[in-house]
Amino acid sequence: MQLAFQFPEVHKKAVCHIDFQRTLRIPDDNREYPLPPGLGRFPVEHVDDFADKLPGTWQAHGGVFIPMYQSEALWITSFR
């Protein structure tokens, strides 16, 4: 899933799509590494759908979240 933001006050076709790609973590050792392989999109979940399993502060704020394991990383892509 991707997030889509529309800006009709700017232009009727002004839209920004943001995609969250699952990938592997790289070492945190101040060296440069090539971009790791993409492993598909992260799911973007609605807080309301998991209200009984999330902290009350999340429920009060609402929105979306991306579930991920500590061993995972992500990169963000955006496009029109």
- Report pLDDT for 22: 92
- In a domain, residue 31? The reply is no
- For residues 31 and 70, which has the higher predicted lDDT (pLDDT)? 31
- Report pLDDT for 19: 86
Residue 32 has pLDDT above 90, yes or no: yes
Range of the domain at 63: 2-26+40-79
Q: How many domains does the chain divide into? A: 1
Instruction: Quote the mean pLDDT of the chain.
Output: 87
- In a domain, residue 53? The reply is yes
- In a domain, residue 35? The reply is no
Length of the chain as a residue count: 80
- Report pLDDT for 3: 76
Mean pLDDT, rounded, for 2-9: 81
- In a domain, residue 68? The reply is yes
- In a domain, residue 51? The reply is yes
- Report pLDDT for 54: 87
> Is 30 in a helix, a strand, or coil?
coil
Residue whose C-alpha is closest to residue 66's, from 50, 79, 52, 56: 50
